[in-house]
Amino acid sequence: MLNIAVAQPHDINAMLALDALVTGAPPRQRSIAETVHRQRACVAYINAELCGFLLLHEHFFDYPFIELLIVHPLYRRQGIGTALMRTAETSVVSTKIFTSTNTSNAAMQQLCTQLGYLHCGTLSCLDEEDPEEFYCKYLA
């Protein structure tokens, strides 16, 4: 059974391990820890196993921004990303929420479209060969 909750300090090590597994890069220890301590991170567990997490911040032109969404490869296409995004949407007090993903990340682009996010721009030069696609969703 899927359980979504606000991340707690005891979740950080599992989040770091999942970040490293999925990205193949050194985990974003400071960013993840700071977001957890600000209570702006959500975790998804299935039977006590971390299967995904989301980081949210509010310093994108004073709007909420989903900075990072990671779902364990074994749990993808099971609604976990959707559940985490919807949790983030309901946790903010704003008229809109933003997120972004690389052009190469078709799965995240498809998720954004399915959840009613509108493509609102492309930014080159962050990752030299893979532009960043920005999305916005108007909240009721």
Compute the average pLDDT of residues 105-113. 97
Q: What is the pLDDT of residue 54?
A: 98
Q: What's the DSSP call for residue 128?
A: T
Query: How far out from the chain centre does Cα 140 lie?
Result: 21
Residues recorded for the chain: 140
- 10 Å Cβ neighbour count for 12? 20
pLDDT band at 27 (very low <50, low <70, confident <90, very high): confident
Which tens digit of pLDDT belongs to each residue from 56-85?
Answer: 999 899 999 999 999 999 999 999 999 999
Tokens 């364990």 belong to: 72
Q: Where do the domains of the chain lie, and which CATH numbers do they carry?
A: 2-138 (3.40.630.30)
Considering the chain, what percentage of its residues have pLDDT values greater than 90?
91
136 contacts 98 by C-beta, under 8 angstroms: yes
pTM higher than the cut 0.85: yes
